Amino acid sequence: MNRWTFFILLLLAGTAVKAQYSQEWVIGGRINYMNGGRVLMPDGERKKAGYTIKVAPSLAYFIRNGLAVGVGVGYEYTKDLRGRQHTGEIVPFIRYDFGGGQVRPFLRAETGWGWGRSYMKEGNDGKHFLWTSTLKPGVWIRITDRWAAEATFSSLQYKRVKATDLETDETITRDKWKFRWLDISFGFACIFRW
């Protein structure tokens, strides 16, 4: 074995030893923004279709190296041409990190429920309850012993929404699968041991 191979193996082993995450708590949060683009109106005018912003603080525990369980609490605000909507969520999750070292790709599976209210420009206001299950791939980057950054890039989501019109009391239930190629979110996390 030449000295460069030995040096690289020693460096990789040192990185793996330093990056053991077992029995660590992580307090984190993510934020994402999705622009709805523009819509061509019947009169030829282009209007902004709206946007969605979501913040989601979370608490997780690494039960072993590379495997974390946790819960997130989210708030989502959507504004579009029809009105605006507020949604709160409670989402338990499990996350598996692939590989070792300071930079780890991961897969996060989450499922949970939410509730909210809609305020429409034309038509009736409503309330909604939802159940979601989502898979999100991403990257976790350990910056220091206490801080990390993460980013997710896409998502596969199943959503069941039960919406009720507050004026007519009519209820509609919808089931929907959705794949978002660019469902990007960024977050930071504080890591500690008790």
| CATH of the domain spanning 30-192, picked from 2.60.40.3880, 3.30.360.10, 2.40.160.20, 3.30.460.10 | 2.40.160.20
Residue 85, number of CB atoms within 10 A of its CB? 20
Per-residue model confidence (pLDDT) at position 16: 37
pLDDT (tens digit, 9 = 90+) per residue, 99-149?
Answer: 878 899 999 999 999 999 999 888 788 999 999 999 999 999 989 989 999
Is beta strand 83-97 parallel, antiparallel or unpaired with respect to 46-48?
unpaired
Contact 99, 107 (CB under 8 A): no
Given a cut of 70, whether residue 5 has pLDDT beyond it is no
pLDDT value, residue 67: 92
- Give the residue, 161 or 12, on which the prediction is more confident: 161
Please state the domain extents for the chain: 30-192
pLDDT given at position 11:
40
**CA–CA dist 96, 99 (Å, integer):** 10
Q: List CB contacts of 62: < 8 A, sequence separation 6 or more.
A: 21, 22, 23, 24, 25, 26, 68
Q: How far apart are CA 3 and CA 78, in angstroms?
A: 57
User: In which band, very low, low, confident or very high, does the pLDDT at 40 lie, cut at 50, 70 and 90?
Assistant: low
Count CB-CB contacts under 10 A for residue 12. Answer: 12
The model's pTM is 0.76
pLDDT reported for residue 21: 65
Instruction: From residue 67, give the alpha-carbon distance in Å to each of 17, 51, 132, 145, 151.
Output: 16, 33, 22, 18, 17
Residue position matching structure tokens 């089931």: 175
30 exposure class (CB count in 10 Å sphere: 0-12, 13-18, 19+) = buried
